[in-house]
Structure 1
Amino acid sequence: MSKRRTTHAKTAGRIRRRSASQGSRKQQKRALPVKAVLKGLALSVAAVAVLYLGSQLKSVDVPDILPVEQIDVAGDLRFIDRGEVQKIIAANIDGGYFTVDLGRIREQLQKLPWVKDVAVRRQWPAGLQVNIEEQKPLAYWNDNAYINQDGDVFQPATVDHALALPQLNGPAGQQDKVWQFMNRLYREMALLDFDVIRLDLDQRRAWQMQIVEAGEEKAKPVTIRLGRFDTEKRLQRFIRVLPALMRNRKNGEAIATIDMRYPNGFAVKMIQNETESAGLENAGMAIPGFRTASLNTNSRLALIGTIAVTREGEA
């Protein structure tokens, strides 16, 4: 009998536990719809709140109620008039703080020739922050433009020729070629303590440059004629002989022109006491690897060995 009672008790316990578990699952099933309803209700309330706030902002963003009251212009501006910038911004504010068209303001400011880049943002509670990156002129381009730090040409209404900038000249569309060659010449001449103050590429695609000794910007420049052909070879020859040419000058003597447009040598025109010198044989120049000979009364010519020098047909 005791065994039967024990068995019945165990069976009854399992039935009660199963019944309790089933009841708990039924309660969870009834709870789930309630949570879903509450979540949906919360989302609906949030959406209504957003729509309401949006409508309120539109009603508040009337220029008379929430206008743009302050404009801050930032940037290292040397050539741009801040007053002109302020006027352009003010003329393009067509709404209140929240609806003012920042893209339109930026577009109008980009039209200024001295502006390289612009960033415009709102500044709470009633201001605009305008950051301007100004063009940095590194050289003149022809007579009416500049070249900036990226090698791009920009053309303001007027060009200030009093700036201490090198002059670059060339045909339209050749600015990249001239700028790249200028950068190379600048590095090469700096190693010899010279500055390049002018570089020309003419319509025939012939190169010519002017240099001065570093720190002597007011000195008379030396003109170097490289011509159209074998530019690299001529440039290297010039770099090789320039130090010796400078060392062998007589007192008061200055080099006016060095013409590299020869297959095996070069011609040097000297200036002495404001007049051109009259003969190489009296110059006393000693350039390793070269001998000297008279070309004419206005020029001096250096030759390699005994090879005769003839002017190229198209230099």
Structure 2
Amino acid sequence: MSWSDKGQRIRVLLLKTDWYLCFGLVFLACVLIGLSAAAFKLNAVLNDADALPIEAVAINGERNYTADQEIQVALQDLMQRSFFSADVNQVQQALEALPWVYQASVRREWPAKLKVYLIEQVPVAHWNGDAWLNTYGEVFDAPVKEGIPNLPSLTGPEAQGKSVLTTYQQLGELLTINGFSLKSLSLSARHAWHAELNNGIRLELGREDSMTRIQRFIHVYPKLAAQDKKVGVVDLRYDTGLAVDWDDAQTESR
């Protein structure tokens, strides 16, 4: 075979190689375009609220203070999205922004439902007049609702809610087992404790040894009750003894 024949054969092979390469590239481009178009179409369908709407929201959990209408308003905009495009984290945040909701968990349930589990705040005390304390001693703001039980009134520095609640529970337990009921407890800016019982008696407990001072009051109260006078304030800020302020007269018992 001459060199010219060999050169011609090489050119033919190169042309065939180029043709296969071009065909392969065109085929790959078609596949990529097709996949992109399919992905675009799928994305459009998944985000189409008319094609895949959220048909229902199932709310579970005990609710005493959060109405269905409040939940509907909170989720109104989010419900305009499709089942797949709805962000469950945003739904959770919208629900937890409701004043009486403590915690919310949200998950999708095929084919068109969101399942929500709500945990409400459990108020255990009024805090500084217009707020509440929950069972963990956390402060929260919420409107007054029907069905809230008669709760004690606690006051103190903003960051001391948990401390005040703990002290209230300790003192309240001691008083309750001795026939008294603690109506309110206050911690001043100087960290002095002031208490009021349901019978109207006010107790000045000072900064320390509040449990010991409450026990002293319980021990001496039968003697105070035997008097033909109404007890107003009992000052227990003494190492021993106490001072009594009667409603109709003032005297001291030491």
- Normalising by the residue count of structure 2, what TM-score does the alignment of the two structures yield? 0.75
The residue number in structure 2 matching 1:235 is 214
The residue number in structure 1 matching 2:224 is 245
Aligned pair count? 216
- Superimposed CA distance per residue, residues 80-113 of structure 1 (whole angstroms, 9 cap, x where no aligned partner): 2321211222312363223321111101211222
The residue number in structure 2 matching 1:224 is 203
Q: Does 1:207 align with 2:200?
A: no
How far apart in 2 are the matches of 1:233 and 1:101? 55
Aligned partner of residue 121 in structure 1, secondary structure: strand
Contact (CA 8 Å) 1:116, 1:133: kept in 2 or not?
A: yes
The residue number in structure 2 matching 1:184 is 170
The residue number in structure 2 matching 1:301 is 252
The residue number in structure 2 matching 1:257 is 233
Alignment of 1:1-315 (within 5 A): 58=43, 60-61=45-46, 62-93=48-79, 95-156=81-142, 158-159=143-144, 163-212=149-198, 220-246=199-225, 248-250=226-228, 253-271=229-247, 276=248, 298-303=249-254
- Normalising by the residue count of structure 1, what TM-score does the alignment of the two structures yield? 0.61
Q: 1:160 to 1:85 in 2, by over 3 A?
A: closer
User: What percent identity do the matched residue pairs reach?
Assistant: 32
Amino acid at match of 2:245: K
Contact (CA 8 Å) 2:132, 2:139: kept in 1 or not?
A: yes
Contact (CA 8 Å) 2:186, 2:193: kept in 1 or not?
A: yes
Contact (CA 8 Å) 2:235, 2:242: kept in 1 or not?
A: yes
- Superimposed CA distance per residue, residues 213-240 of structure 1 (whole angstroms, 9 cap, x where no aligned partner): xxxxxxx411111123443442332232
Contact (CA 8 Å) 1:192, 1:243: kept in 2 or not?
A: no
* Structure 2, unaligned runs of 5 or more: 1-34
Contact (CA 8 Å) 2:122, 2:135: kept in 1 or not?
A: yes
Contact (CA 8 Å) 2:136, 2:162: kept in 1 or not?
A: no
What displacement does 1:245 show? 3.2
Q: 1:205 to 1:160 in 2, by over 3 A?
A: farther
RMSD after superposition? 2.7
Contact (CA 8 Å) 1:94, 1:101: kept in 2 or not?
A: no
Contact (CA 8 Å) 1:265, 1:301: kept in 2 or not?
A: no
Aligned partner of residue 79 in structure 2, secondary structure: coil
- Superimposed CA distance per residue, residues 64-90 of structure 1 (whole angstroms, 9 cap, x where no aligned partner): 112111122233322223212112223
* Structure 1, unaligned runs of 5 or more: 1-50, 213-219, 277-297, 304-315
Contact (CA 8 Å) 1:71, 1:86: kept in 2 or not?
A: no
How far apart in 2 are the matches of 1:160 and 1:101? 30
Aligned partner of residue 159 in structure 2, secondary structure: coil
How far apart in 2 are the matches of 1:125 and 1:73? 17
How far apart in 1 are the matches of 2:157 and 2:167? 15
- Superimposed CA distance per residue, residues 92-141 of structure 1 (whole angstroms, 9 cap, x where no aligned partner): 23632233211111012112221100011223332212221111111001
How far apart in 1 are the matches of 2:191 and 2:157? 9
